[in-house]
Chains A and B, each alone.
Chain A
Amino acid sequence: MRPRSAIWLALGWVGFALLPWFAGGGTQPALEPPAPGPAGSALIDGLTNGRWWLLPIALPLLLALAVTALPRLRPRQPAALLAAGAFGLAWVAVQGFAIGLDGWAWGWLGSLFGPLPRGQGGYGIGAVLTVLSFLFLMTSGFAGLGFMKGDRFTAGAIGLVLAAIAAFVFLPVGYVLSGAGDTGDGGFSLVALAGRIAAPDIWRLSCLTEAKACGVVWNSVFLAVLTGIATTLLGLAFALVAVRTGFRAKKLLRLLTVLPIITPPFVISLAVILLFGRNGTVTLALSDWFGIPVSRWIYGLPGVLLTQTLAFTPISFLVMIGVVQGIGPSLEEAAQTLRASRWVTFRTVTWPLMRPGVANAFLISFIESLADFGNPLILGGNLEVLSTKIYFAVVGAQNDPGRAAALGIILLCLCLGAFWVQRQWLGKKSYATVGGKGDNGIPSELPRGIRIAAYATALPWAAFTFILYGLILFGGFTENWGRNNSLTLRHYLAAFDLSWGPGGLIWSGRAWGSLFTTIEVAALSAPLTAAVGLLTAYLLVRQQFKGRGAFEFLTMLSFAIPGTVIGISYILAFNQPPIELTGTVTILIICFVFRNMPVSIRAGVAAMSQIDRSLDECSLTLGAGSVQTIRRVILPLLRPAIVASLVYSFVRAITSISAVIFLVSPKYELATAYIVGRVEQGDFGLAIAYSSALIVLMSIVIALIQFAVGERRIGRRTATSATLQEKPV
């Protein structure tokens, strides 16, 4: 008797027979709330309430029980578990989709079998547990049949990640994409789809030949390439300055590069407007001193490029620094021992080893730029990009979800194309530099030219960022920024006022409600994101299995889908049974986990491909299992990646707007959605005060994460411990 199958089987029975199958207290008046305890379970409900379709779920559970309990059937156990799990999953899914709140959801079934006595609500705790049980029984069966080298952990983890992606990425996106071929009366036609995708205002190149606007695709791609190049170079420069030079104020440098990521994007846009807008401080100064005519250059491509570069450089820095830190100095020392000059060493050893970092940083910035919504919205002027066009196709006066879906498909293809190119460039070379042998080299100084270039790029940018942030923090204390700069606390009071009432402390400020929800959502989603992301990265880098490329592709998909499309698709998919989540805080958390997971995966993959496989093999040879190897060997070496993904997902949960603007509900309002409303209304004071408070809050949390996770200790000599042993960000 194998305990693992037994435990999952037992949980499956518990979910089926003891826990309430449906969620919550009924979703419509006609549907009486399921009773708590065993009475609301699928078994009892199916027997007593006329929901007979729940009863067949017992069959696979009985089959699994039989092969587990009867020794005679033991040899057939894997195949039987596989069959039981697969059938159970399929049945739970099919009955869930086929039978909705009011009976048959698929009309043809109704005409076949006649009407049902009653409908059903969304899956509850019992259903979730049963589904998990079936999933793990199935993967266990797979492993037993010899797939994944028989490693049940790998099989289970892959199954879990795939199932989660199927439910929370494919299902919702499927809902939207099927809308791209919508004929208007609920039908689907390829002609409508092709017509929408090939529309001339998407693809025309008339800006090259005549004075007309170009197609929206070309605008987006052009912007994304420029942003990708700019952020990658800046991120690289910062990483080199931080790791490979004797620069003294590194701490400050790192702080500055992290600042933009902890800022809601539209706040940077506002600061940029107030500096470079037509009435901006810098614009007026230039016009007064040098007679440079006042113009509107900031509205359009230059402004969006500037703010996107400000916003995404830190992400690229976070990716690059892990890679630059991980490059084993002994390789460079070897090159120099062989009489290579610093420059030749950099070109032939250091740079090639940084390629995964460069490619990942560019990929992330490129896709982020394509999907960015806040900056083009505020600074875009007459520049049209895909993300804003999708948004206005949904909410605009011409309300055309089919068009939004078609644009979404194009955006998706662009991002996946970038991903494919990156794979081609990196090829199948090995980038492992952190090996079990330890590395005793001293990181070499950069060649002079590179060092000067890195300084010249990083330092002015840091200064610029510093000024911008000074302005933002200062702006929260001014009466009316840009017009009346006298100091006041009134914006902070409006947002974060506290008062004593008869019942004790009253959170009377206007921002408290959304702030508490935001913190709750971010704090719950960050560790989940990091866990799922790093687990996936481990599977991708360390496990060989069929379809690994496809698996990687699938996990990256959600990153390529613009937030606005995600938001709409989540409402469409999760507003009704079987998975009913709208209006809850859960939908926000799930949305963030699956949206931010790809960054966590990329950080994990970049860091993990540097750790030589011999370390895991060593651990496995010494008798440790997959889990112990992960915990004792890989995780400690992955600390920078863990920090990166925790920080990124926490911060993104606080600052992102496009994905959640449709998901926030009156009960669960998020900070960004609230702030955007203030900006819309021109109440910059409160918006900036609230944003400043968020910035401070996120800084504290990042420091705490840093403290809690600690740094990666790679056995290396150091030249002077003060300059080269820096904490990862």
Chain B
Amino acid sequence: MKSTGNWIKSAGLGLGILAAGAVLAATAAPAKAQGTLTVLCGVQEEWCKAIAVAFEKKSGTAVAMSRKSAGEALAQIRAEAANPKTDVWWGGPGDPHLQAAEEGLTLAYESPQFKDLQPWAQSQYKQSQGRSIGIYAGALGFTYNTELLAKRKIQAPKCWADLLRPEFKEEIQIANPNASGTAYTALATLVQILGEDKAFDYLKKLNDNVNQYTKSGSAPAAAVARSETLVGVIFMHDGINQKINGFPVDVAAPCEGTGYEIGSVSIIKGSKNLDAAKAFYEFALSPEGQATGAETKQFQMPSNRKSATPPEAPNLEAIRLIDYNFQKYGTAEERKRLLSRWDAEIKSVAR
């Protein structure tokens, strides 16, 4: 019967399609995963690559590294919680690391290098109950386009109050704190400097000068570099990075004081390469590992006191750092409350 042969042929076709997928599924990654350390990386890509290569050379363990923004990394680790495919989350602001610790996604681990670390790095460790530790710090600040400022004969902003000056009308960019950890740090910083009600008054006035609430925290730095806006509120190392790339920008730390992020590292709970993960964690805390930052033109402050601070790094001692209360402003509750208030009072206003 003719249709019989056809049926078999067509069924064979269908089988071929699915079998191809199945064979791939069956033979792909799991077997290969053994022995390769999988790292989610929250800093700039060059640095990710550099530390991966340096660690491979030192330990002989192969590293698979992927750059993810803090939110993406946290979302992925959360989604994989039942069966983690990742071993280490390295870099990125401390807040989401604390969140991961709060949700029990990461593993407590005590490092012999703990005593060599800066106090802020140790405080990240204490707050996360040992599940996360600081590897670098970056202060919040302004970046501005020097060319445009000179052209319009405007003084560079030096203080938070300067941002309210009328000549900056529609010339300031800052990320939306609902989307970006950078902007949330800025919001919490202002609340801590001015008090909550005054901070929201300030933000309402600032709203007239903001032309766009960007979605990514470092986007204002890129916009300032391309002359799309005069001033951006960012983590200072992002601005310095644009300066090194050859753009006419400079950075400043606010005179009233400023907040900062603690770039952190955490080991994922359920890591299948625990020994390698611990080795990487140690490497990330060591002066040798932290030197990879400056080598790739990343100018955060390293957390190990024995590490050399790159000369370009914003000197944390010269910056008036506030005593940022990570404990209070890192909790999900406080975060939600402030962000809802921001949404209601700032975001929904005319734009």
Contacts and interface: CB of A to CB of B under 8 A. Distances in A.
Contacts of A399: 71, 74-75, 99
A196 to B, nearest CB: 14
Contacts of A27: 30, 83
Contact of A662 (B75, B184, B246): B75
A625 B26 contact: no
A396 B335 CA distance: 12
Contacts of A523: none
Nearest to A136: B11
A661 B79 CA distance: 14
A26 to B, nearest CB: 7
Given A26-B30, A277-B226, A482-B226, A625 B45 contact: no
Interface string A482-496: 111000000000000
A4 B11 contact: yes
Nearest to B72: A395
Interface string B18-62: 111111111111111110101110001100010000000000000
Contacts of B19: 128-129, 132
Contacts of B184: 397
A570 to B, nearest CB: 9
Contacts of A568: 75, 79
Contacts of B9: 627
B30 A23 contact: yes
Interface in A661-709: 661-662, 664-667, 669, 674, 677-678, 680-683
B318 interface: no
A48 to B, nearest CB: 21
Query: In this complex, which of A8, A156, A580, A586 has the most chain B Cβ atoms within 10 angstroms of its Cβ?
Result: A586
A4 B221 CA distance: 65
Interface string A579-591: 0111111100110
Contacts of B82: 100-101, 575-576
Interface residues of B, number: 93
Interface residues of A, number: 94
B228 interface: yes
A132 B6 CA distance: 18
Interface in A562-600: 568, 571-572, 575-576, 580-586, 589-590
A589 B6 contact: no
B30 to A, nearest CB: 3
B229 to A, nearest CB: 8
Interface string B177-205: 11111011000000000000000000000
B247 A667 contact: no
B315 interface: no
Interface string B61-81: 001111101011011100110
B71 A682 contact: no
Interface stretch (B113-121, B125-133, B209-217, B257-265): B209-217
Interface string A198-217: 00010000000001110000
Interface string A261-277: 00000000000011001
Contacts of A136: 11, 14
Given A23-B30, A398-B336, A160 B25 contact: no
A153 B2 CA distance: 13
A11 B28 CA distance: 22
Contacts of B14: 132, 136, 156-157, 160
Contacts of B211: 296, 299
A394 B23 CA distance: 33
A86 interface: no
A634 interface: no
A201 B82 CA distance: 33
Interface in A335-359: none
Contact of A396 (B6, B179, B246): B179
B45 A677 contact: yes
Contacts of B24: 584-586, 589
Contact of B7 (A4, A392, A665): A4
B245 A278 contact: no
Interface in A611-669: 623, 625-628, 661-662, 664-667, 669
B139 to A, nearest CB: 19
B351 A683 contact: no
A397 B335 contact: yes
Contacts of B22: 125, 128-129
B75 A582 contact: no
A4 B34 contact: no
Nearest to B24: A586
B230 to A, nearest CB: 10
Nearest to A376: B215
A279 interface: yes
Contact of A586 (B25, B183, B350): B25
Contacts of B95: 397
B291 interface: no
- Most chain A CB atoms below 10 A, which of B72, B76, B216, B222: B76
A623 B3 CA distance: 9
Nearest to A628: B6
A8 B10 CA distance: 12
B339 interface: yes
B64 A666 contact: yes
Nearest to B3: A625
A476 to B, nearest CB: 16
A725 interface: no
B155 interface: no
Given A129-B19, A397-B71, A680 B216 contact: yes
A274 B225 CA distance: 12
Contacts of A397: 71, 95, 177-181, 183-184, 335, 339
A8 B19 CA distance: 13
B251 to A, nearest CB: 14
Interface in B225-258: 225-229, 241-242, 245-247
A625 B4 CA distance: 9
B17 interface: yes
Contact of A589 (B21, B49, B178, B229): B21
A29 B349 CA distance: 55
A284 to B, nearest CB: 10
B180 A572 contact: no
Interface in A1-51: 2-4, 7-8, 11, 20, 23-29
Contact of B245 (A213, A677, A683): A683
A23 B33 CA distance: 13
Interface in B90-110: 95, 99
B343 interface: yes
B6 A382 contact: no
Contacts of B8: 3-4, 7
Contacts of A164: 18
A3 B272 contact: no
Given A128-B19, A397-B178, A212 B25 contact: no
A477 to B, nearest CB: 16
B316 interface: no
B269 interface: no
A2 to B, nearest CB: 7
Contacts of A510: 49
Contacts of B177: 397
A388 interface: yes
B30 A24 contact: yes
14 contacts: A7-B8, A101-B82, A123-B25, A380-B215, A395-B179, A397-B177, A583-B29, A585-B24, A585-B29, A586-B21, A674-B45, A680-B218, A680-B219, A682-B245
Q: List the 4 shortest-distance A-B pairs measured between CB atoms, nearest first.
A: A395-B71, A24-B30, A666-B64, A128-B22
Interface of B: 2-4, 6-11, 13-15, 17-34, 36, 38-40, 44-45, 49, 63-67, 69, 71-72, 74-76, 79-80, 82-83, 85, 95, 99, 170, 176-181, 183-184, 211-213, 215-216, 218-219, 221-222, 225-229, 241-242, 245-247, 272, 335-336, 339, 343, 347-351
Given A395-B71, A680-B69, 7 more contacts: A7-B8, A132-B15, A157-B10, A278-B228, A396-B71, A397-B178, A397-B180
